[in-house]
A and B are shown apart, each in its own frame.
Chain A
């Protein structure tokens, strides 16, 4: 069984740039959620995709956007990067929304300079 894979593992971007992070869900999982984890904090929910549609969104501005593809993989796009966007971005996959727990990928560590 393949777990959740994320790419890239590390990334350095300049303020104002745009970034795309990618996630492949665990085999059989149809729901993907994205979380942002700043240093010393718990992960914060960004949004969730279920069957290629956004299925809930946390308190993040519109410059955070996403996609889910027919194979359930997903992308997180962040425009106009700010220094505070520096964080570990975690993708989590689950079945049917996630009521039974999530499997997390190892994350993408984004540094904005």
Chain B
């Protein structure tokens, strides 16, 4: 089982649609969770952290279910500018103290006019 698995893409949605991305992780000891956004041939940029209580930032809502080791990202009212690859990221926070990030392969989103 891969450490971080994401929905296979690509997702092609019309403007204004609601789209949801799902992600599972294998290390139950993981402590920190993030969604990053990566535009074509650019670096990943932090979209939002994910907390157990769920968190919202404008049109974006992230949820974490530790029992199921499952993370989600919901984008409402999709904009053309949301087109990008969305990376699910887990920080295993290992006992050695290394804060390495483990990335999923990413899910590509294309918002269509």
- Which residues of A line the B interface, CB within 8 A? 31, 33, 35, 40-45, 48, 55-58, 90, 92, 94, 97-107
The 4 closest A-B pairs by CB, nearest first: A56-B98, A42-B103, A98-B99, A97-B99
Give the Cβ gap from B107 to chain A, nearest Cβ, in Å: 10
Cβ of B97 within 8 Å of any chain A Cβ, yes or no, is yes
Which of the listed residues A40, A90, A102 has the most CB atoms from chain B within 10 Å of its own CB?
Answer: A102
The distance from the CB of B38 to the nearest CB of chain A, in whole angstroms, is 9
Q: Is the CB of B99 within 8 A of A48?
A: yes
In the complex, the answer to whether A99 meets B91 with C-beta atoms within 8 Å is yes
- Given A41-B105, A42-B104, A101-B49, answer yes or no on A31-B43 (Cβ-Cβ < 8 Å): no
A54 to chain B, nearest CB (A): 9
Given A42-B103, A48-B99, A48-B100 in contact, is the A106-B94 Cβ separation under 8 Å?
no
Q: How long is the Cα–Cα vector from A44 to B42 in the complex, in angstroms?
A: 16
A33's nearest neighbour on chain B, judged by CB, is B100
Residue of chain A at shortest CB distance from B44: A104
The docked-state distance in angstroms from the alpha carbon of A90 to that of B103 is 13
Query: B105 contacts A44, CB within 8 Å?
Result: no
Whole-angstrom CA separation of A48 from B93 in the bound complex:
13
B4, B93, B103: which contacts A99 (Cβ < 8 A)?
B93
Give every chain B residue within 8 A of A107 (Cβ-Cβ). 43
Cβ contact within 8 Å between B43 and A102: no
Is B105 touching A99 in the complex (CB atoms < 8 A)?
A: no
Known: A44-B103, A56-B98. 18 other contacts (CB 8 A): A40-B105, A42-B87, A43-B101, A45-B101, A48-B100, A55-B99, A56-B94, A56-B97, A56-B99, A90-B43, A90-B44, A98-B99, A98-B100, A101-B34, A101-B46, A101-B49, A102-B46, A104-B44
Name which of B32, B34, B101, B102 has the most chain A CB atoms within 10 A of its CB. Answer: B101
B65 interfacial by beta-carbon distance below 8 Å: no
Interface flags, B39-76, vs A, CB<8A=1, else 0: 00011111001000000000000000000000000000
Residues of B within 8 A of A101 (CB): 34, 46, 49
Q: Is the CB of B49 within 8 A of A43?
A: no
